[in-house]
């Protein structure tokens, strides 16, 4: 099935470092979302973006909706051990096609 | 807890058996989605309902799969004659139709077909 290109696949960082990950697509999306998933659990919504160029923060997390509507990035500042998990980007076409299309995820490991 | 709930959380079955999963969405959410997630992949869309109407189905949803939402509240996903390739995490999400719609996921049902 269709998936977004998400990078990097994995990251190993020290506690306190900043993290950046991104998603690109050949398709235009009306909505971009970022989720975090812990092992054995469902994805938890972190940030939702609805307009091209939009920059939104949620605590130490900041995400942007690319102006071409084909990409998005997520930054995490001053990482802490509980940031460990898999981060997924998802795009939604909207306009009658409401399904989410997901990337393959970025696995984040934070060393204390 | 007013989030999306799914039951059972885990299911082990033998190949050829039928299984059924249940999803209870966030109350007053009129849209309900089913996704499947295999190891190392992101969730993949299966189908979704608006109220009791099934509006979209993925090609991933073979004729062995059927989903219902009879009263526009909870939903069930049934897999008949399970195959080993059906082993995956089955995720349910719900949302409320709005200008800026957001899908909230349940904890998932992990299926293992032996």
CA distance A91 to A93: 7
What confidence score (pLDDT) does residue B97 get?
Answer: 82
pLDDT tens digit sequence for A85-97? 999 999 998 877 7
pLDDT for the residue B1: 55
| Contact between B47 and B53 (Cβ < 8 Å) | no
- Can you give the pLDDT at residue A95? 76
Q: Residue A110 above 70 pLDDT? A: yes
- Using pLDDT thresholds of 50, 70 and 90, give the confidence band for residue A1: low
Q: Which residue of B has its CA nearest to A93?
A: B101
Q: Any alpha helices (H) in chain A, and if so which ranges?
A: none
Cβ separation A41–B107 shorter than 8 A: yes
Percent of chain B with pLDDT over 70: 98
Query: Which pLDDT tens digit goes with each residue over B27-79?
Result: 989 999 999 999 999 999 999 999 999 999 998 888 999 999 998 899 999 99
B30: exposed, middle or buried (C-beta count within 10 Å: 0-12, 13-18, 19+)? middle
Q: Is the pLDDT of residue A82 over 90?
A: yes
Which of B3, B5, B42 to mutate to probe the A interface, most A CBs <10 Å? B42
- Tokens 């082990």 correspond to what residue? B12
């Amino acid at each position: 099935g269709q998936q977004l290109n998400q990078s990097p696949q994995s990251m190993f960082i020290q506690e306190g470092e900043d993290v950046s990950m991104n998603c690109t697509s050949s398709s235009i999306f009306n909505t971009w979302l970022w989720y975090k998933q812990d092992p054995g659990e469902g994805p938890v919504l972190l940030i939702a973006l609805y307009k091209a160029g939009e920059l939104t923060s949620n605590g130490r997390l900041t995400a942007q909706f690319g102006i071409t509507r084909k990409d998005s990035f997520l930054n995490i500042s001053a990482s802490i051990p509980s940031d460990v998990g898999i981060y997924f980007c998802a795009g939604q076409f909207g306009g009658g096609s409401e399904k989410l299309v997901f990337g393959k995820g970025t696995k984040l490991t934070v060393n204390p | 807890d007013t989030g999306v709930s799914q039951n059972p959380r885990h299911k082990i079955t033998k190949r050829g058996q039928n299984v059924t999963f249940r999803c209870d969405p966030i109350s007053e959410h009129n849209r309900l989605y089913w996704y499947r997630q295999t190891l190392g992949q992101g969730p993949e869309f299966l189908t979704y309902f608006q109220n009791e109407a099934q509006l979209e189905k993925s090609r991933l949803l073979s004729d062995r799969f059927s989903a219902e939402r009879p009263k526009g509240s909870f939903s069930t996903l049934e897999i008949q004659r399970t195959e080993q390739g059906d082993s995956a995490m089955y995720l349910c999400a719900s949302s409320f139709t709005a200008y800026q719609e957001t899908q909230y996921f349940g904890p998932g049902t992990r299926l293992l077909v032996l």
